[in-house]
Amino acid sequence: MARYADPGVLEWVESGGGPLIAVPETVLPFWAGADTEELDTDYDRACEVAGHIGLLPVGDSAALVLGDEPASTSYLPEHHTLVRWSAADSEDELLAAVPAALAEAEWGDEVRWTVPGPVVLFDSARQGGDTPHVEHLRIPLDPGPYAVRAAWATPRPETWVGLVQLRRLAG
């Protein structure tokens, strides 16, 4: 997994240029990525998602697509937020700016995402079954519904960060 600081605090996931996707572990084998004979691949569907976030059906569940730009991404469980590294001189600088970014963020519309449990974040061009062998990040979410919202923030002049916040809903 990519690391931007040595030794680095977080594991970061990158893509080859397309969107990242968070797929529930239970349906990983159903995500075919770009490596199929189909004319409209799962990767193509992910690339068609407009905006910062969107949901795509996968098996009997849904995957969360992180659209807009293929920024390196990690998860901060204390903020229930995926952090997308757009610009910062170091990992420490980026992480120090997260509280201010969360406070100033202008959030977009929320989507409701129901997950059966943990999800795996990886490059949407990859097949879900390949995740043990490719760069990925397991996010230990509790089963149930989540409100998901996204924003980009500039908490410092040279620090730009994308945020995808997951808020657990009752029921």
pLDDT per 10-residue tile (average), the chain, 171 residues: 56 92 97 84 94 96 92 96 94 95 95 98 94 92 98 93 96 71
Residues 21 and 44: their CA atoms lie apart, in Å, by: 12
pLDDT confidence of residue 40: 87
pLDDT confidence of residue 37: 75
pLDDT confidence of residue 5: 43
The pTM of the full predicted model, rounded to 2 decimals, is: 0.92
pLDDT confidence of residue 131: 87
DSSP output for the chain: -B-SSSS-SS-BB--SSS-EEEEEGGGGGG--TT-SS-SS-HHHHHHT--SSEEEEEETTEEEEEE-SS--EEEEETTTTEEEEEEE-SSHHHHHHHHHHHHHH------EEEEESS-EEEEETTS-GGGGGGSSEEEE-PPSEEEEEEEEEEEEETTEEEEEEEEEEPP-
pLDDT confidence of residue 49: 94
